[in-house]
């Protein structure tokens, strides 16, 4: 039962972000800041689910995560 809950949570950006290690979270945020000009506080709050993404930012972050662009840096 817990495995299904973890997998379901990982389907969202917030869930994916929650499964990352501290180092990976830092790498993802740094990539988004350097490549797309996101502000640290804003992107961190959105990735953690405290605030919502606007449609444009949501598309950018989904693409970065789905294509693992931040990992190739």
| Residue that wins the pLDDT comparison between 1 and 12 | 12
Query: pLDDT category, 72, cuts 50, 70, 90?
Result: low
What are the tens digits of pLDDT across the range 51-69?
999 999 999 999 999 999 9
DSSP state, 50? S
Query: pLDDT category, 73, cuts 50, 70, 90?
Result: low
Residue corresponding to tokens 């039962």: 1
DSSP state, 71? G
3-state secondary structure of 53: coil
Q: What is the pLDDT of residue 11?
A: 76
Q: What is the pLDDT of residue 58?
A: 93
């Amino acid at each position: 039962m817990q495995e299904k809950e973890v997998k379901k949570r990982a389907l969202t950006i917030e869930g994916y972000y929650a499964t990352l290690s501290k180092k990976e979270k830092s790498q993802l945020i740094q990539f988004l800041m350097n490549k797309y000009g996101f502000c640290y506080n804003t992107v961190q709050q959105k990735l953690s689910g405290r605030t919502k993404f606007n449609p444009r930012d949501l598309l950018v972050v989904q693409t970065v995560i789905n294509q693992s662009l931040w990992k190739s840096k």
